[in-house]
Structure 1
Amino acid sequence: MIIQQHSHDLSTPTGLMRTSIYRPQQQGRFPAIIFYSEIFQQTAPIARTAAILAGHGFVVLVPEVFHELNPIGTVLAYDDVGKDKGNQDKWTKPLEAHDTDTQAMVDFVQEQSYCNGNVGAMGVCIGGHLAYRAALNASIKSAFCLYATDIHSDTLPAQPGNQSFARMADIQGEIHFIWGRQDPHVPAEGRLKIYQALQASGINYQWQEVNAQHAFMRDEGDRYDPALALTMYQQAVALFQRTLR
């Protein structure tokens, strides 16, 4: 499909959130995917991923995940300065603020004439965690979480009892987890902790470990695995076509 792209500044309880929207040009009502970025926000690789998903017949929303902490339009570089700032933002913003961001996007898409009302979530790195976190919202029918950081450690700021790992059993939709075995950010013991909790939770999940490093989806840098990335796109599209149509 040929796609179009525009942006919308959504009101959230913590301020305006610039959200880029990628969607088919043709008329119709399409399901929506909230695509959560890495700590660097909407870089060129993130924009290209959003465009790929949109071209398969989805409305893709890319929020500025740390909109409260940066000027609108901020994109951090893939360097040490950008990494340090992004990690600082990650440890500053509470999960409750991410929850209200998700609800603002759900409310938005359900009001749009080009959306069918069904919403999924997808993300990479911290965005994988945020896609998992979004799945705690009953409106999210499915989530595709790529090398999601900080779930196993449960160390992102949150109110007591509202940490992501502790709330796993609250997920109602279908959720897929994809991990790189060579990813130092989610080591084997961390993956085992999540897997054992999933088995005990009774939720609807799929689990996949691949021979890859962290950020293997990012088409910039020496960790990119093009063949594996293509497989992941196919799996994500299949999940969302099945659960959101």
Structure 2
Amino acid sequence: MMVTQEIHDIPTATGTMRTYLYRPSAEGQFPTIIFYSEIFQQTAPIARAATLLAGHGFVVLVPEVFHELNPIGTVLAYDDAGKDKGNEDKFAKPLEHHDSDTEALVHFARSLAFCTSYVGSMGVCIGGHLAYRAAINPDISAAFCLYATDIHSNTIPCEKGNDSLSRTEDIQGELTMVWGKQDPHVSSEGRKLVYANLEKTDRNFSWLEVNAQHAFMRDGEARHDPALAIQMYQGAVAFFHRLLK
């Protein structure tokens, strides 16, 4: 399908959040995927990923995940300065604010005539964590989480007992968890902790560890693995077609 792009500034509990919308140009209604970016917000690789997903029959929303902390439209560069600012933002924004962002995105999606009521989440890096976190919202039917950081380490600020690992039992939808075995940001011990918690809470999930580094989905850089990326996109499309339609 050909894809139409739009920009929307939507209200949240913590201020206006710019959200980039990608949707099939065809007539009809389509399920929604909230696509959470890396710490750099909507870079060119994130925009290309969103376009690819939308072309398979989804409305894709890419929110500015740190909208409270930056001017609207901020995109950080893939350099040391961008990484430092993005990490600063990551450790400054509490999970509770991400929760209210998700609520606002679900409400926005369901207000659109071309969206069905079904909503899923997907993300990479911190966005993988936010896709996982979004799934504690009962309106999220499916979450596809790629090399999710900071779940195992509980390093994102939140109220005591409200970290994402502790809230796993509140996830009602189905999860797919994808990890790079050579990813230094999530160790083998960290992955085992997340897996054990999903097992303990009897969640409905699939688990995949691949021989790849962190950010292997990001095209245009040395760690990118094109073959694996295509496999993940195909898996995500099949996953969301099964659960959101």
Question: Normalising by structure 2, what TM-score?
Answer: 0.99
Name the aligned partner's letter for residue 34 of structure 1: I
Q: Percent of aligned pairs with the same residue? A: 66
Q: Would you say 1:133 and 2:138 are equivalent positions?
A: no
- Per-residue deviation, 1:155: 1.6
Which residue pairs with 1:159 in the alignment?
159
Residue by residue over 1:80-105, the C-alpha shift from the partner in whole angstroms, topping out at 9 and shown as x without a partner, is 00000000000000000000000000
Correspondence list, 1:14-29, <5 A: 14-29=14-29
- Counterpart of 2:203 in structure 1 is 203
Matched, 1:240 2:215: no
1:111, distance to aligned residue in structure 2 (A): 1.1
For 1:163 and 1:195, the matched residues in 2 are separated by: 16
1:114-133 correspondence runs (5 A): 114-133=114-133
Secondary structure, aligned partner of 1:165:
coil
Q: Distance in 2 between matches of 1:45 and 1:138?
A: 29
Structure 2: distance between partners of 1:26 and 1:35: 21
Q: How does 1:62-211 map to 2 (within 5 A)?
A: 62-211=62-211
| Residues 47-74 of structure 1: per-residue CA shift (max 9 Å, x gap) | 0000000000000000000000000000
Cα distance in 1 between the residues matched to 2:198 and 2:11:
34
What is the alpha-carbon distance in structure 2 between the residues aligned to residue 69 and residue 220 of structure 1? 27
TM superposition shift of 1:200: 0.7
Task: State the distance in 2 between where 1:196 and 1:97 align.
Answer: 27
User: Counterpart of 1:50?
Assistant: 50
Q: Distance in 2 between matches of 1:20 and 1:194?
A: 30
Aligned counterpart, 1:10: 10
In structure 2, distance between residues paired with 1:224 and 1:133: 25
- Aligned-residue offset at 1:198: 1.1
Distance 1:241 1:169 in 2: 24
- In 1, the alpha carbon distance for the partners of 2:32 and 2:193 equals 31
1:223 shift after superposition: 0.1
What amino acid does structure 1 have at the position aligned with 2:169? Answer: A
2:167 match: secondary structure = helix
The one-letter code matched in structure 2 to 1:107 is: H
Structure 1: gaps of 5 or more residues: none
Superposed CA deviations along residues 103-133 of structure 1, whole A, max 9, x for unmatched, are: 0000011111000110000000000000000
Q: Which moved more, 1:196-205 or 1:210-219?
A: 196-205
Give the letter for the 2:118 counterpart. N
Deviation >4 Å, runs of 4+: none
- 1:11-69: CA deviation from partner (whole Å, max 9, x where unpaired): 00110000000001111000000000000000000000000000000000000000000
Query: Mapping of 1:207-218 within 5 angstroms?
Result: 207-218=207-218
